[in-house]
Each structure stands twice: as C-alpha cells, then as structure tokens.
Amino acid sequence: MLPTGAGEPRVVTHDKINHRSARWFPDGRRILFQGNAPGEASRIWVQDVAGGAPRPVTPQNVAGTQVTPDETRILARAPDRRFYFYPLAGGAPQPVPALKSGDIPVRFSSDGKSVFVATFGRVPALLQKVDLASGERTVWREAMPPDPAGLINVGPIFVTPDGRTTVYSYTRMLCDLFVLDRARKH
C-alpha cells in the first residue's frame, strides 16, 4: 500500500500468489482480488490489510471482484459463463439470472439492489443499471469523447455508487500521412 501523504509504503501480501484485479471492501480493511497460486488456476481471494494469509473464497476458474455493499457476498462469473453470488462466509453460490454472460459488472448501486454493467469493445461505451430482482435494464450513460478521430475503443467506464459521476478512458490511433512526389526536385 502506498500512503496518500507522508509515510512509508507497506507490503500487504507475503505469498506466492499472482495478484490481479484487486478491489477494496467498503470497510477499507480487506481487499478482494483475483489471482492464482503456483500450479493452480485463477480464483478469488480475500486479504486482510492488517496481515495474515489470503483466504480463497471461490473455486478455481471463477473471475470477478465486486463486493456487495453489505460485504456478505461477491459477484463473480463461473466457468459456465454465468454470474453467481458467492457467500463470503461459505456456502453454495446463488445464480444471478438478471445478468448476461457478456456483461461487465462495474459496481453495485449504493443500496445493493442494482448493479451497473458496462460493455466492452463498443463505441460509444454503454453503462447500464440492472435491477437484480426484476432484470430490468436502464441505459445509464453512453461514453464518447468529443472528438472521435482515430478512436479505437472507449472504456473501461466506471461509476460512483450513487450513479451520478462516471469516468472513462479511450484509445485512439492517430498517424500522419505523407505523399512523396519523386518527380519534384528540391
């Protein structure tokens, strides 16, 4: 961890896991991350920032790093490409039929009743709010830079829990074209 002010950086993990896609729990005391131990497939882990060994919370080949606002479950995609809630205290995963296999969950709404999902590789980037009980989808934002010249991709797109603020990045490829006329001499 790197301090935002004065202080020294602090190493949180002391293991051989390949850590990826980390996200803070709302309590700020734990980190949820995707990673794999040597010789194993990727899975989701919980790490206490005070120290100790990380704890696996899903089977192998499960991906995702979204923690519910009440911090009791995580939303993740299983090998069957479907989304499930995995209870952090253990137990069977619960299917989330409101989400489609191509959805990219960005974050839960502050009340936990909806999840914001994004698209990948779409221009403009689309952010939808999905009601987890009904499956109803509302287009929340479309993200597009003002100048589309050279635009290759828009995203990822992120949103605050209240849904009021979004940020996104985009990739463009710009180049110069030169015409050489061999008949002219300088």
Asked if residues 84 and 91 have their Cβ atoms less than 8 Å apart, the reply is no
Inform me whether the pLDDT recorded for 186 exceeds 60. Answer: no
Residue 124 one-letter amino acid: P
Inform me whether the pLDDT recorded for 182 exceeds 70. Answer: yes
pLDDT tens for each residue of 50-77: 888 899 999 999 998 889 999 999 999 9
pLDDT tens for each residue of 111-151: 899 999 997 777 888 899 999 999 999 999 888 888 888 88
Domain spans of the chain, in order of start: 1-96, 100-186
How much is the pLDDT for 166? 87
pTM reported for the whole predicted model: 0.81
Residue 93: band (very low, low, confident or very high) from pLDDT cuts 50, 70, 90: very high
Q: Three-state DSSP class for 80?
A: coil
CA 81/CA 48 separation, integer angstroms = 29
Q: Exposure string (b/e) for 38-53, b if CB count within 10 Å is 16 or more?
A: eeeebbbbbbeeeeee
